[in-house]
């Protein structure tokens, strides 16, 4: 009973869906942490203790102090099988090319890292030219920078630009200095790499290592060494994982949705045939099974097709993900078995889920329907359907509010996706009920030019509400999704920026340019109020989790108080922040002024501090305040994130000056850019789908309407009139879908705005990117008109009586 023409639509929809699922899961499975090249030859990597924080905070490990490092290194060197124990020191350093940081690899964390020369032993790195650095002022650089041994180079470090001499070149990112220079720049060590004797078993060595380090670190071997990958890479990978999971989930959902409407439509068109089957002896079960079996065949073949296409596309898309920053540069596509298995199963499962309700409806077709015209549907919408729809919409609204009030931007995005799904599913379920009122609403514009055509268009759309609704469904989905997601992202971004700008009392902000932060020299040259962030660790052994990472801000208290409008002191005085042992804590830390408070700094030293003031939690853009000099003393590589100034100044090397509102808008620019790209990706997926689905159902509808149109022609309509009729019909359906989708999205956006306004405490503007919305509606309209006008035009080439029945 399977007809090729009829199943093409479902086939394409399932195939596209499985392609997306396959690509997304293949890439997802490929995104595994990599052993850094720099540590490739170290069979055992000893890492300092993990920070006591959630895995997705990407906090660095708690470093060992210089003394502890020396102690560990000599202890480790004595473990049987170990030929050398080399501390891997990492600090901030960036070579300036033509007086500016190089644009190459600006995104790669390891491009602005410096290491001691001995680290090269751990990666088996060889000089391609020149000699190793032996003393202060000598450096080996990446040969990609195009510098020559013997020539001068300026290195940008946390202190400022420093003159160096290039002694050699290597084929790797980053810069390498003499070990004692590195020891000064990076007193705290997080990794000690072990080279082992040929034939020694890394696991045995690791066991020996555990005896030496005890609880003060971890011994990693084999693939486990990938835990020492750069934190930024881990973070990027994590973002990629979110993107891919969301894409796969969305693709699965949209596919079920689109395929379901295709099947529903198909069953609607085949009522007469199904009735005939029932009349000649098919039981309801047989009809149901037949419809499901068809879906299964379509799903299985389309699934395989999708898998093959997906497997072919994965490397291309993988490269793209690296380019836009959703995956680290070390990302490679690997064909793991589980995504393949998942994709093989996905096709039939999607098809079966999608055909579920259609097959039940098919089984309810009565035999008599073979004998009667049944174009006028009796009951457009059942009570159960209304209840389902209302429940889904309610869940969607609740999730929207959850989106707006979530603390974490990431949680918000997840909430948002499910909110959209629930709202859209609810709207689609309820759509048949809305078709008639909307058609009535749209009556006047169609009536005037149409005359008889207008009458036919209106009557067709409102009698066959289910048919209209199932054609409008993909448009509804696409438009609702595009409006809601893009509007939500833009509104949220704008709201955060507004809140941020509101907190800052300054005219201009100096921010880093092509560098991770500003050096001390740059800050000194600018004046103003600077923030010097560093990661510290709670050192209280009784607290749980131990080694909790905190973001400390090194500030000058007077300038900070003047600049920060959100600052509210609860106890003590900010002015007392100044001695080498003072700290300001937020209220949630539960300490009183003059209580002691110990922290581990980036150099691995434990420092006992004294609380001088307590402020409200939302007073500071970090976890605690320290005097700037304290941060500098314990973290030679700390970089200033921003300097707030009253008047415009000339930017120093590696910096730009922007006004406060621009700074607020771009403060999260990298993250916002990723989020926006992600949004466009998701909208693209759903819009592409919507387009496929619209074209699909309209093509099917066109085939089913040939007889009708022939009658209309026989009744005296010209070809032009018939084409105009079908064009107007599909435009009307797209319009209905767009209106319903827009309405759903608007409701969602309003609830999001309400939540944001409450959270930010400032009025929030609703930002809707109309270009995206217009593009999506236009795409649907274009495809709808093409998909209905073209087949009609083809069938009209014949004389009316000869058109195929």
Partner 1 sequence: MTTQTVTLQGLCAVYGAGARRVTALDGVTTSFAGGTFTAVMGPSGSGKSTLLHCAAGLDKPTAGTVTIDGRRLDDLGEDELTRLRRDRIGFVFQAFNLVSSLTAAENVELPLRLARHRPPARDVLAALDTVGLTDRAGHRPSELSGGEQQRVAVARALITRPAVVFADEPTGALDSTASQQILRLLRALVDDHRQTVVMVTHDPAAAAYADRVLLLADGRIVDELTGGITATVVAARIAERETAPAGSAVESSC
Give residues in contact with partner 1 (CB under 8 A). Answer: 1-3, 272-273, 276-286, 366-368, 370-371, 804-805
Contact 480, 741 (CB under 8 A): yes
Q: For residue 330, report the phi and psi dihedrals to the nearest 5 degrees.
A: -80, 5
Positive or negative torsion for Cα 18, 22, 25, 31:
negative
What residues have CB less than 8 Å from 319, skipping those under 6 apart? Answer: none
Residue 283 CB, shortest distance to partner 1, in Å, is 5
For partner 1, the closer CB: 2 or 136: 2
Q: For residue 677, report the phi and psi dihedrals to the nearest 5 degrees.
A: -60, -45
Encode burial over 261-285: b for 16+ CB neighbours within 10 A, e otherwise: bbbbbbbbbbbeebbbbbeeebeee
Residue 760 CB, shortest distance to partner 1, in Å, is 59
At 51, list the tokens. Answer: 């920070």
Q: Is 662 exposed, middle or buried (0-12, 13-18, 19+ CB in 10 A)?
A: middle
For partner 1, the closer CB: 154 or 803: 803
For partner 1, the closer CB: 371 or 391: 371
For partner 1, the closer CB: 368 or 670: 368
Residue 366 CB, shortest distance to partner 1, in Å, is 8
Residue 712 CB, shortest distance to partner 1, in Å, is 20
At 429, list the tokens. Answer: 């379920």
Residue 701 CB, shortest distance to partner 1, in Å, is 17
Residue 795 CB, shortest distance to partner 1, in Å, is 14
For partner 1, the closer CB: 241 or 279: 279
For partner 1, the closer CB: 368 or 606: 368
Q: Is 541 exposed, middle or buried (0-12, 13-18, 19+ CB in 10 A)?
A: exposed
DSSP structure string for 645-678? ESS-----TTEEEEEHHHHHHHTTHHHHHHHHHH
Q: Which helix (H) or strand (E) holds 112?
A: none
Residue 285 CB, shortest distance to partner 1, in Å, is 7
Q: Between the CA of residue 763 and those of 497, 534, 667, 755, 790, what are the distances in Å? A: 12, 33, 20, 11, 49
Residue 367 CB, shortest distance to partner 1, in Å, is 5
For partner 1, the closer CB: 248 or 282: 282
- Closest alpha carbon to 39 in 142, 222, 193, 206: 193
For partner 1, the closer CB: 285 or 797: 285
For partner 1, the closer CB: 341 or 371: 371
Residue 324 CB, shortest distance to partner 1, in Å, is 47
Q: Which residue has the tokens 């709808």?
A: 784
For partner 1, the closer CB: 60 or 704: 704
Radius of gyration in angstroms for the set of CA atoms belonging to the chain, rounded to a whole number: 33
CA–CA dist 298, 292 (Å, integer): 10
- Alpha carbon dihedral 303, 305, 308, 313, in 10-degree steps, equals -100
For partner 1, the closer CB: 100 or 798: 798
3-state helix/strand/coil string of 704-738: HHHHHHHHHHHCCCCHHHHHHHHHHHHHHHHHHHH
What residues have CB less than 8 Å from 83, skipping those under 6 apart? Answer: 195, 196, 197
For partner 1, the closer CB: 281 or 541: 281
* Strand 606-615 relative to strand 582-586, pairing: parallel
Residue 293 CB, shortest distance to partner 1, in Å, is 14
- Give the strands of the sheet with 218-221, arranged side by side: 82-88, 191-196, 44-47, 218-221
Residue 263 CB, shortest distance to partner 1, in Å, is 16
Residue 704 CB, shortest distance to partner 1, in Å, is 12
């Amino acid at each position: 009973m399977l007809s090729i023409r009829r199943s093409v639509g479902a086939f394409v929809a399932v195939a596209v869906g499985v392609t997306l699922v396959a690509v997304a899961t293949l890439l997802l499975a490929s995104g595994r942490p990599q052993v850094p090249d720099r540590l490739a030859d170290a069979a055992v990597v000893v890492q300092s203790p993990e920070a006591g924080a959630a895995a997705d905070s990407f906090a660095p490990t708690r470093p060992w102090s210089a003394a502890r490092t020396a102690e560990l290194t000599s202890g480790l060197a004595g473990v049987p099988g170990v030929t050398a124990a080399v501390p891997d020191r990492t600090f901030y350093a960036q070579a300036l090319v033509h007086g500016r940081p190089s644009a190459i690899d600006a995104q790669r964390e390891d491009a602005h890292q410096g290491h001691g020369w001995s680290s090269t032993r751990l990666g088996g790195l060889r000089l391609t030219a020149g000699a190793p650095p032996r003393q202060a002022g000598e450096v080996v650089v990446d040969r990609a920078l195009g510098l020559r041994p013997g020539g001068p180079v300026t290195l940008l470090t946390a202190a400022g630009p420093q003159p160096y001499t290039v002694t050699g070149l290597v084929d790797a990112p980053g810069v390498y200095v003499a070990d004692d220079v590195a020891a000064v720049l990076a007193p705290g060590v997080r990794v000690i790499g072990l080279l082992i004797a040929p034939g020694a078993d890394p696991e045995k060595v690791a066991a020996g290592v555990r005896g030496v380090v005890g609880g003060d670190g971890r011994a990693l071997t084999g693939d486990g060494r990938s835990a020492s990958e750069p934190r930024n890479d881990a973070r990027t990978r994590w973002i990629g994982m979110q993107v891919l999971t969301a894409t796969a989930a969305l693709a699965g959902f949209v596919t079920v949705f689109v395929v379901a409407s295709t099947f529903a439509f198909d069953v609607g068109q085949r009522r007469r045939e199904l009735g005939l089957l029932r009349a000649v002896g098919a039981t309801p079960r047989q009809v149901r099974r037949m419809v499901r079996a068809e879906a299964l065949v379509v799903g299985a073949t389309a699934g395989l097709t999708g898998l093959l296409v997906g497997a072919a596309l994965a490397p291309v898309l993988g490269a793209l993900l690296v380019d836009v920053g959703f995956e680290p540069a070390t990302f490679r596509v690997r064909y793991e078995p589980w995504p393949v298995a998942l994709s093989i199963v996905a096709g039939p499962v999607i098809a079966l889920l999608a055909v579920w309700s259609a097959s039940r409806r098919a089984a309810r077709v009565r035999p008599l329907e073979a004998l009667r015209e049944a174009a006028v549907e009796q009951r457009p919408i059942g009570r159960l359907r209304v209840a389902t729809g209302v429940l889904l919409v309610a869940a969607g609204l609740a999730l929207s509010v959850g989106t707006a009030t979530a603390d974490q931007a990431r949680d918000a995005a997840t909430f948002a996706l499910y909110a959209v799904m629930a709202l859209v599913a609810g709207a689609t379920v309820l759509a048949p009920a809305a078709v008639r009122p909307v058609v009535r609403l749209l009556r006047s514009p169609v009536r005037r030019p149409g005359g008889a055509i207008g009458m036919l268009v209106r009557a067709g759309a409102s009698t066959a509400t289910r048919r209209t609704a199932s054609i409008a469904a993909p448009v509804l989905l696409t438009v609702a999704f595009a409006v809601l997601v893009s509007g939500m992202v833009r509104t949220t971004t704008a709201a955060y920026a507004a809140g941020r700008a509101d907190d800052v009392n300054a005219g201009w902000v100096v921010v880093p340019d092509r560098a991770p932060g500003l050096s001390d020299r740059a800050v000194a040259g600018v004046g103003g109020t600077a923030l010097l962030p560093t990661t510290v660790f709670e050192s209280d052994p009784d607290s749980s989790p131990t080694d909790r990472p905190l973001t400390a801000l090194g500030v000058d208290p007077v300038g900070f108080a003047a600049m920060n409008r959100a600052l509210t002191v609860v106890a003590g005085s900010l002015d007392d922040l100044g001695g080498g042992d003072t700290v300001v804590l937020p209220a949630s830390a539960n300490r009183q002024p003059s209580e002691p408070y110990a922290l581990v700094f980036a150099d691995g030293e434990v420092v006992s501090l004294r609380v001088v003031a307590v402020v409200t939690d939302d007073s500071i853009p970090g976890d605690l305040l320290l005097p700037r000099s304290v941060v500098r003393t314990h973290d030679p590589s700390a970089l200033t994130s921003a300097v707030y100034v009253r008047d415009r100044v000339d930017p120093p090397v590696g910096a730009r000056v922007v006004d406060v509102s621009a700074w607020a808008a771009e403060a999260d620019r990298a993250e916002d850019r990723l989020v926006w790209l992600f949004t466009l990706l998701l909208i693209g997926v759903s819009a592409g789908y919507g387009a496929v689905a619209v074209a699909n159902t309209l093509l099917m509808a066109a085939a089913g309407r040939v007889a009708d149109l022939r009658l209309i022609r026989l009744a005296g309509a010209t070809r032009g009139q018939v084409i105009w009729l079908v064009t107007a019909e599909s435009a009307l359906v797209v319009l209905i879908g767009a209106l319903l989708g827009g309405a759903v999205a608007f409701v969602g956006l309003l609830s999001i705005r309400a939540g944001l306004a409450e959270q930010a405490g400032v009025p929030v503007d609703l930002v809707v990117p109309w270009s995206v919305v217009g593009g999506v509606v236009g795409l649907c309209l274009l495809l709808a008109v093409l998909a209905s006008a073209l087949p009609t035009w083809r069938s009209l080439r014949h004389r009316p009586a000869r058109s195929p029945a």
